[in-house]
């Protein structure tokens, strides 16, 4: 019920702020052109959210109106756009993030067909303006009563609405921007997930196509997805999510934690019955029992690339599974290796 009230309140906030935004306030990856020259927006159902996001006037003919046209959905953003932010399946013993610290984080929302409530379960990562990457088990292994409905982007604190906090009027403080909920148009689960004897959790990857292209902002941005990247040995990796904490409760605020890669033999020994595959999976664990847990499934395992003039975050894995008791000392978690499925991902992306 609270989710419904929050959505209603945010609808009014978004309607006000988006309706009064500058018409040519385009992001670096957008072009200010006529709507009918931007087919991937023009041919999309003109919902209220769609019109608000792109500043499309309800009372004017659509074609001649000018909008900030984003890249088509079959393109991944370059590293000058993606991975930037203002400076077992949970984050057990992790830390709260700052607002907008991980603007590519996605919360998957499901319809409970028994209670007719919308509930969050699983996470994902926005990889461009149209697609969200998540785990296959977030679609194929869910209870029968739950049906994936939409994806929430720009979320930080699920119990608190930005702008209803008096301290957010202080411009020196960082406050989260309003989130948006975008319906899922189509989902792709890897065809080899749960296929073959004992290979229950391999190929644990899925791709979600949103019903509309979203606009990047301070609170919503894509993570970088690379065809290849440096070895992760001794690299600082990050995880994030709203999953269960060490007290057994789901986190109200997005939390993060640091982990490092563990030698594949460790996961092979710990999860012998699941046949860990170092070619398609990553084994990682954190200090002080930092771990992923229930509710964090499908979220990204992240690394940072630092160059002379640039720094960006890229995705190296997808939270898949771990020990039945999250944060168990000595037990790592397993992540689907994204670069092993890069071609599988891009082949399914359409404009």
For the chain, list the domains and their CATH numbers. 2-69 (no CATH), 102-222 (2.40.10.10)
Separation of alpha carbons 104 and 165, rounded Å: 23
For 242-252, what is each residue's pLDDT tens digit?
Answer: 875 555 556 77
For 264-287, what is each residue's pLDDT tens digit?
Answer: 888 888 777 778 888 999 998 876
Q: Which of 40, 150, 156, 204 is catalytic?
A: 204
Residues in Cβ contact with 64 at an 8 Å cutoff, skipping those fewer than 6 apart? 34, 35, 36
Q: Label residues 153-168 b or e (16+ Cβ within 10 Å = b).
A: bbbbbbeebbbeeeee
Phi, psi dihedral angles at 66 (to 5 degrees): -100, 140
Examine the residue annotation and report whether 121 is marked as an active-site residue of this protein. no
Separation of alpha carbons 168 and 315, rounded Å: 31
Q: Nearest 10 degrees: CA dihedral of 160, 257, 131, 179? A: 10
Q: 256, 101 in Cβ contact below 8 A? A: yes
pTM (predicted TM-score): 0.84
Q: Which of 121, 125, 251, 297 is catalytic?
A: 297
Give the closest residue to 57 by CA, choosing from 23, 80, 84, 7. Answer: 23
Q: Which of 137, 190, 203, 323 is catalytic?
A: 137
Examine the residue annotation and report whether 204 is marked as an active-site residue of this protein. yes
Q: Is the pLDDT of residue 90 over 50?
A: no
For 288-338, what is each residue's pLDDT tens digit?
Answer: 555 455 557 899 999 999 876 778 999 999 998 875 555 555 578 899 999
For 199-231, what is each residue's pLDDT tens digit?
Answer: 678 899 999 999 999 999 989 999 999 999 888
Examine the residue annotation and report whether 203 is marked as an active-site residue of this protein. no
Q: Label residues 231-255 b or e (16+ Cβ within 10 Å = b).
A: ebeeeebbbbbbbbbeeeebbebbb
Separation of alpha carbons 88 and 22, rounded Å: 46
């Amino acid at each position: 019920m609270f989710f419904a009230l929050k959505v209603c309140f945010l609808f009014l906030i978004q309607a006000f702020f988006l309706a009064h935004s500058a018409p040519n306030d385009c992001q670096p990856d957008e072009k200010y052109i006529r709507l009918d020259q931007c087919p991937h927006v023009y041919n999309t159902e003109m919902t209220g959210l769609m019109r608000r996001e792109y500043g499309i006037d309800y009372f004017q003919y659509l074609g001649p109106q000018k909008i900030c046209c984003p890249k088509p959905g079959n393109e991944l953003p370059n590293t000058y756009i993606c991975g930037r932010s203002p400076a077992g399946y949970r984050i057990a013993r992790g830390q709260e993030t700052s607002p907008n610290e991980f603007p590519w984080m996605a919360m998957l929302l499901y319809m409970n067909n028994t209670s007719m409530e919308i509930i969050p379960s699983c996470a994902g990562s926005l990889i461009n303006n149209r697609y969200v990457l998540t785990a296959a088990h977030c679609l194929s292994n869910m209870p029968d009563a739950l049906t994936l409905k939409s994806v929430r982007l720009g979320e930080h604190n699920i119990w608190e609405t930005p702008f209803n906090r008096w301290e957010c009027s202080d411009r020196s403080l960082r406050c989260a921007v309003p989130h948006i909920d975008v319906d899922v148009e189509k989902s792709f689960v890897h065809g080899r997930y749960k296929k073959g004897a004992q290979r229950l959790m391999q190929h644990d990857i899925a791709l979600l196509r949103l019903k509309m292209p979203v606009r990047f902002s301070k609170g919503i941005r894509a993570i970088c997805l690379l065809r290849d990247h440096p070895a992760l040995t001794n690299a600082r990796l990050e995880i994030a999510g709203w999953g269960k904490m060490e007290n057994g409760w789901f986190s109200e605020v997005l939390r993060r934690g640091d982990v490092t890669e563990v030698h594949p033999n460790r996961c092979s020994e710990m999860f012998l019955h699941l046949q860990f595959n170092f070619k398609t999976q990553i084994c990682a664990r954190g200090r002080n029992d930092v771990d992923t847990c229930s509710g964090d499934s499908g979220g990204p395992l992240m690394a940072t690339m630092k160059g002379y003039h640039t720094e960006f975050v890229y995705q190296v894995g997808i939270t898949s599974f771990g020990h039945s008791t999250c944060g168990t000392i000595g037990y790592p978690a397993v992540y689907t290796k994204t670069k092993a499925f890069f071609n599988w991902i891009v082949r399914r992306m359409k404009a």
